[in-house]
Amino acid sequence: MKLDSYWLDTAPAFTAASEGPADGMVDVAVIGGGFTGLSAALALGRRGASVAVLDAGRIGGGASGRNGGQCNTGVAQDYAALRAQLGVERAQGCYRAYAAAVQTVKRLIAEEGIDCDYLATGKLKLAAKPHHLAHLEHTAELIRREVDADIDVLGAEQIRSEVQSDRFHGGLLQRRGGQMHMGKFAVGLASAAARKGARLYEHAEVTGIAKQDGAYRYRVESKRGVLHAKQVLIATGPSRHGPFGWYRRRMAPVGSFIIVTEPLPADEQARLLPNRRSYTTSRLMHNYFRVTPDARLLFGGRARFTASERPSDAKSGRILQANLTSVFPSLAQARIDYCWGGLVDITADRLPRAGQHDGVYFSMGYSGHGTQMSTHMGQIMAQVMSGDAAANPWRDFDWPAIPGHTGKPWFLPLVGAYYQIKDVFY
């Protein structure tokens, strides 16, 4: 079993990374080489801007290359709860932003010819308890009436045609979404940005950002050199590298963990998940799963409320393997080939944040729904940085610090214990 991301391990090599020092003058310095930063670099390059992207590690090697590979409509939290919290109009805007984000991903794949095994089969949220189905039915009624008519609720008698497991009591099917190979998408997006002139630097951890006089208002120091930039975009997500304490205090970096089985026989895969959708369960400590392009079963979730560290990822993997066997008993003897973890940048209300702080642009806080929204917000932030502030769907959301959060998530074990107890009664 490899303690590495399946997406990163099976992606083609990225051959367009910039060599030499990361120095000189650029229109925009982008900090973070995940989907947000790469998408922004592509969009800015298309506008004729000179761009340098700095990543502390491997391009696409953070959250962008370590997630479940889902690209779906729907907000990170329950739409009914979001509607009660924000009102109908703002909740509709949030939902539509995510729907637009899926279309952005599909558009960029088509425009740039990115080979990433995109499969538009939608998402099925599975009711783990009978009363969860009643709540999904209520949520579906609101979604269908207010934002998306192309959804269905599957009852207990229908669900076995979707998932060959006796653990679920129905589900909410949202068709306008899909799934893809995260590593291939990252390499394709990065290669497209490089073709538009962006310089992409790996292992270039940023150590300081300072304002200075002149047209090139920012001095960006990294372990590979010093850039002078007219504008800066921070797209680091939950990264623990660099001088970004203001952002860290506003997000909880929660670990999410994933295992991937050996390739399954075609008849077994077709029996278990014949429609090859993206699946997620309705529990608070939920699981998500899907079939990979080479017929493996990917199974993930918040196995433990802790950061991802290689020595502890295997422990989370054992928890996930037990959950996998509970859902699909026939896979009890399936070999687990990959196990890894990643950080999810969760905000207090589980909605993204984007805008400006102290003159510097930022976009992050995708809260587990980052594949589509990060890609979308890279495009959007290019518009915002070109003068179209109204393009930002999150421009009117304030972003206070999490009370008691100094940047290190000391409270995660307490939150995990609370959710585990609540899940028993939820």
Give per-residue burial for 211-237: e unless 16+ CB within 10 Å, then b.
Answer: eeeeebbbbbbbebbebbbbbbbbbbb
The verdict on residue 372 lying in a domain is: yes
Query: pLDDT class for 417, splitting at 50, 70, 90?
Result: low
Query: What pLDDT score was predicted for residue 83?
Result: 94
Contact criterion met (CB below 8 Å) for 54 and 201: yes
The pTM of the full predicted model, rounded to 2 decimals, is: 0.95
Query: pLDDT class for 145, splitting at 50, 70, 90?
Result: very high
Query: pLDDT class for 283, splitting at 50, 70, 90?
Result: confident
Residue 35 belongs to what domain range?
A: 6-416
Q: Is the pLDDT of residue 220 over 90?
A: yes
Tally of domains within the chain = 1
The CATH number of the domain where 331 resides is what?
A: 3.50.50.60
The verdict on residue 424 lying in a domain is: no
The verdict on residue 423 lying in a domain is: no
The verdict on residue 166 lying in a domain is: yes
Mean pLDDT of 206-220: 97
Query: What pLDDT score was predicted for residue 251?
Result: 93
The verdict on residue 421 lying in a domain is: no
The verdict on residue 410 lying in a domain is: yes
Query: pLDDT class for 77, splitting at 50, 70, 90?
Result: low
Mean pLDDT of the chain: 93
Q: What is the pLDDT of residues 291-321, one digit of tens each?
A: 999 999 999 997 555 655 666 778 888 999 9
Q: What is the pLDDT of residues 35-63, one digit of tens each?
A: 999 999 999 999 999 999 999 999 999 99
Burial classification of residue 386, based on how many CB atoms lie within 10 Å of its CB (0-12 exposed, 13-18 middle, 19 or more buried): middle
Query: pLDDT class for 369, splitting at 50, 70, 90?
Result: confident
The verdict on residue 375 lying in a domain is: yes
Query: What pLDDT score was predicted for residue 107?
Result: 98
The verdict on residue 140 lying in a domain is: yes
Query: What pLDDT score was predicted for residue 213?
Result: 97
